[in-house]
Amino acid sequence: MKRILLIMLVSAGAFYVLLTSYFTDTQINKYDSVAAVHDNKAMQEGWVPKILPTSAFDIVETHNIDTNENFGKFSYKEQDETSFLAQLSENNDTYSNAHFLFKIDKEKNEVRFRNKL
C-alpha cells in the first residue's frame, strides 16, 4: 500500500512539473522597427522601454505574464546614441531609467534590457 501511494505521489509530482514547464505564459516577440512596437502596443503593456531610440531595429522582447519578468534587446544607429544615453542613469556598466535596466554595447550599437522587479 505504501509503495502504491509513493508511486502515485511521484507520478503526480512529475505530472505537475511537466505541465507547469510546458504551459508557461512566456511570449517572445520580434519587431523590425519602433513603429511595429507601437502597432503591437508593447510599450503600453510595459514590455519594451518607452525610451527606444527612433532608429531602433531588430527589437526582440520576451515577457512572462505569470512572473512579470521581461527582457530583450535591440540595435540602434549611432546617431541616436547620445540622446538615448542622456535619458539614462549610469552605475558602473549598467544603465537604468524608471522601469528598466540596460547593458549597452557601444561598439556594436546593441542594447540588452530587462525590467526592474
- What number of residues does the chain have? 117
Residue 1 has a pLDDT of: 74
Q: What is the pLDDT of residue 109?
A: 96
Q: Residue 81 falls within a domain, yes or no?
A: yes
Strand blocks (E) in 1-99: 26-33, 57-64, 69-75, 89-91, 94-96
pLDDT attached to residue 18: 65
Longest Cα–Cα distance of the chain, Å, equals 72
pTM of the model: 0.77
Does residue 97 form part of some domain? yes
Does any domain span residue 87?
yes
Q: Is residue 57 part of a domain?
A: yes
The reply to whether 13 falls in a domain is no
In a domain, 19, yes or no: no
Containing structural domain, residue 71: 25-115
What integer pLDDT is reported at residue 4 of this predicted model? 82
Q: Mean pLDDT of residues grouped by 10 in the chain (117 residues)?
A: 78 70 79 94 92 96 89 96 94 91 96 93
CA distances from 18 to 24, 59, 69, 105 (A): 10, 31, 21, 37
| Domains: count for the chain | 1
Position 3 scores a pLDDT of: 83
